[in-house]
Each structure stands twice: as C-alpha cells, then as structure tokens.
Amino acid sequence: MNATEKLNFLIQDKNLDAELKHIAEKVLQGERVSFEEGVILYERGELGYLGVLANYIREKKHGDYTYFNRNFHIEPTNVCVYDCKFCAYSRLIKEREQGWEMDVAGMMEVIKKYDDEPVTEVHITGGVVPKQNLDFYADFFRQCKAHRPDLHIKGLTPVEYYYIFKKAKMSHYDGLKYLQECGLDSMPGGGAEIFHPEIREKIAGDKCTAEQWLDIHEQAHSLGMRTNATMLYGHIEAFWHRVDHMERLRQLQDKTGGFQAFIPLKFRNQGHQMSHVPEVSVVEDLRNYAIARIYMDNFDHIKAYWAMISRDTAQLSLAFGVDDIDGTLDDTTKIYSMAGAEEQHPALSTQQLVELIKQVGRHPIERDTLYKIVTDYKDVVFDDGNKPNYYSLPVVE
Ligand code: SF4
C-alpha cells in the first residue's frame, strides 16, 4: 500500500476514535489542524496512527527525498552571560577558565581547515559574551566571505543577536541588515526552547523572550533571509505548551514564509541543573516528529539532528514525517554530546549518510542550505574504499 492507501485504510477503521478520524480526514483533504486538534493528537494519537498521517504529508511534499548537507560548526565560545537550566554546554562568566573563547583569527583558522573540502555551509552558534559583539561578528563575516565567498554563513540565533544589538543600540532590523551586508546569509533555529512564559521563565528566564525571538526572525525574513526554528521538548512542558509553541511559529510563517525547517530538539538530561528530569522515550520522540509534520503545514521541512537523537532514531524518524537529517558535522559541535547524546564525536562521511538513508528505503539528496539540490545520490555507487569520490559526482541544480 502506498501512503495515500494507508491513510484511506486508516480512515475506514470502524474502531477509530471519532475525533482522530476527523483529523485524519482533514489531513487527507490538505486542511489545517486546529490548536485543539493538535492537543488531541498529543493526548490520544498512538504511534502507528500518527505515522500514517505524517508520512502521507511527508511523501506528498517530498516523496522519498531525504536531505542532508555537508557542513561544519564553529562554536565561538561556550562561556555565557545567561544561565539556562537545561544547558550542559555553557560556563558562566565567573567560570570562564573552564570554557573556551575564540578570536576572529582562531575562527578563520577553522574556516581555512576546510579549504579543500566540498562543504557548503558553516553553522555558527554558541554562548553569549560581551567581547563577541557586533564589530567582532562583522569582522569575522567579512573575512570569511573574502576568503571563501561560496561558503554559506548560517550564523547566530536571536539569543545572541538580541544581546549584541542591545549593546550596540541598534534595532533588530538595522543590526541584521548590517551583518547581512558583512556576509551573513541565514539564521539557524536555536534559542526558541518553549515559548510559553510559564515554561520559558523556569528554564531560560534570563534570555530573550518569545516575542523578541520571533521579531528577530521576522526582521530577518523581511531582509530576504531564510531561517529555521526549533523547539526543545520533553522536560517540564505540557503537551499544550508544545502546540502553543508550534502555533506561534505557524502564525509567523503565514505572515512571512521565511522559515525553511522546523527542528524538534530532544531534551537530554546530563550535566546541568535539570538532570533530575527524566528524558522521554524514543516512542515519544517519534510521536513528536509526526505531530510536528501534521501541525506545521506551512513549513516545507521537518528536520531531525542525527547527532542529538542517534543514527538509529534518525532512520526511524524518516517514517514519521522527517525529511532532513542534517549534515556531516565532522565532530565540530559539542552542544549535543555535552548534554548526554549517544554520539560523543558526531561525524558522518557523505557515504555513511547516504547509506543510512538508503538502508531505510529513502532517496538521499545532498542539498545546500537553501535546499537547492547539490547531488542526487539515488544511483551513486561509492568506490569500494571508505572515501567517497566527491569530485567526480555531477552537480544537479
Ligand atoms: S542555552 Fe545558550 S543562552 Fe542558554 S546558557 Fe546555554 S549557551 Fe547560554
């Protein structure tokens, strides 16, 4: 049975709860699921049911295509003026000798390490410190573009920007416009956590508010920048807080259309002030991906960070609405490993990513940051050695 036949079969099930049946019919008709229905999905939707709905939408949007990219991260510092309770990664200013703080020259050294590598994106995010201010990033973005103009800079979240622009006495719009002129291309989705103040104040009370986070994305969209959005789930929030979070994003997306991917981030519980809170199960991870796919009808992509949820769960997620599993990473991020993720040195070669996707019957596509196809790997057979032959592959636009 294909995805449509499975959904039709499900709808005909006489034992299906009437409200779940109504939601399934709406999905088949391409209609939007309401806030109340989002909560019903969390409360009553079992995994098999949610998988059928989410996979129907996923295949309608993308077929079997499953995206990844070749990227690396720069985390300029893990010292931070903020004190988010779930953060295992950062060190307070008073403990700064336990952390790291890079200068522009050090960051350029990292960029230069990839000179001969066919990476397409550098993803930059980290803590917030006064020294890494507007001039610091303007200088770095300029140097980076002068050195390698084709490398896409996906840099910083509203958490960093809110602090930087406030210190520089600039509006969100003017600050972003200036950094865009210096070379910034797009924005990742971090720092969103859970928007509702009931939860946000408890877990991340001292950083930017939901309204400030959303405004910075809105201003970026108005400048033509594409951005992503995340949600940190599975800690002290209730289901309706998750729906509230997605609803706020869905409304902004209706207005601007500037978001590309929605990325649910699993709460991991090692090494921070919320370590007493248990992690949710893999079943809940998959249910959450599926509901995100169903609810976020105006987002093109649902992304799972394989480095955060492990390779096995990333493979499973491809049957529950996910169409993107992020990039090669090359062991350049510590955010997930320091919070207790299974992947302690996250790095996958292109070949490994392609095989991971093919093993579950999907069609691997290397994309750039803006989802332009770089290479279609459906029929690519790698050399028998471990190294894929990057340079002889066709580039498909
Ligand atoms: S989550 Fe980000 S803003 Fe919060 S303490 Fe960690 S590095 Fe700082």
144 is in an annotated binding site: no
Residue 304 and residue 224 share a domain: yes
Q: What is the mean pLDDT of residues 114-141?
A: 95
| pLDDT at residue number 397 | 45
CA distance 57 to 331: 33
| pLDDT at residue number 307 | 83
86 is in an annotated binding site: yes
CA distance 356 to 324: 12
Q: Is residue 43 part of a domain?
A: yes
pLDDT > 70? residue 271: yes
Place of tokens 């050399």: 383
How remote is the C-alpha of 219 from its chain's centroid? 19
pLDDT > 90? residue 346: no
Pocket of ligand 1 (CB under 6 A): 80, 82-84, 87, 89-90, 127-128, 159, 204, 207
Q: What is the mean pLDDT of residues 298-307?
A: 94
| pLDDT at residue number 93 | 87
Cα 128 to averaged position of ligand 1 atoms, centre (Å): 7
Ligand 1 pocket: which of 87, 212, 333 to mutate (most atoms within 8 A of CB): 87
Candidate from 48-57, 228-237, 241-250, 383-392 with smallest mean pLDDT: 383-392
Summarised one tens digit per residue, pLDDT across range 7-20 is: 999 999 999 999 99
Cα 204 to averaged position of ligand 1 atoms, centre (Å): 8
Residue 166 and residue 23 share a domain: no
Residue 242 and residue 227 share a domain: yes
Cα 363 to averaged position of ligand 1 atoms, centre (Å): 36
Q: What is the mean pLDDT of residues 168-193?
A: 98
Q: Is residue 379 part of a domain?
A: no
264 pairs with which residues across the strands? Answer: 231
Report the nearest atom of ligand 1 relative to the CA of 128.
8
Residue 8 and residue 87 share a domain: no
Q: How much is the pTM?
A: 0.93
pLDDT > 60? residue 236: yes
Residue 301 and residue 322 share a domain: yes
Cα 82 to averaged position of ligand 1 atoms, centre (Å): 6
Place of tokens 């790997």: 377
Closest residue by Cα to atom 4, ligand 1, is: 84
pLDDT > 80? residue 336: no
- Could you tell me which of 308, 243, 247 has the C-alpha nearest to residue 282? 308
Cα 237 to averaged position of ligand 1 atoms, centre (Å): 19
Last-in-domain residue among 62, 83, 103: 62
Residue 226 and residue 123 share a domain: yes
CA distance 274 to 234: 12
Last-in-domain residue among 21, 36, 62: 62
Residue 163 and residue 291 share a domain: yes
| pLDDT at residue number 289 | 98
Q: Is residue 242 part of a domain?
A: yes
Residue 263 and residue 137 share a domain: yes
Q: What is the mean pLDDT of residues 179-198?
A: 98
262 is in an annotated binding site: no
In eight-state DSSP terms, residue 274 is T
Domain range holding 102?
65-365
Q: What is the mean pLDDT of residues 110-134?
A: 95
Question: In degrees, to the nearest 5, what angle opens at C-alpha 195 toward C-alphas 319 and 94?
Answer: 110
Q: Is residue 42 part of a domain?
A: yes
Ligand 1 pocket: which of 78, 84, 336 to mutate (most atoms within 8 A of CB): 84
Candidate from 25-34, 278-287, 380-389 with smallest mean pLDDT: 380-389
| Alpha-carbon distance values, 266 to 37, 67, 307, 383 (Å) | 23, 20, 11, 36
Residue 250 and residue 237 share a domain: yes
Residue 152 and residue 216 share a domain: yes
| Alpha-carbon distance values, 382 to 66, 147, 351, 361 (Å) | 18, 31, 7, 17
Residue 20 and residue 144 share a domain: no
Q: Is residue 393 part of a domain?
A: no
| pLDDT at residue number 331 | 59
Residue 24 and residue 70 share a domain: no
Summarised one tens digit per residue, pLDDT across range 208-234 is: 999 999 999 999 999 999 999 999 999
Q: Provide the domain count of the chain.
A: 2
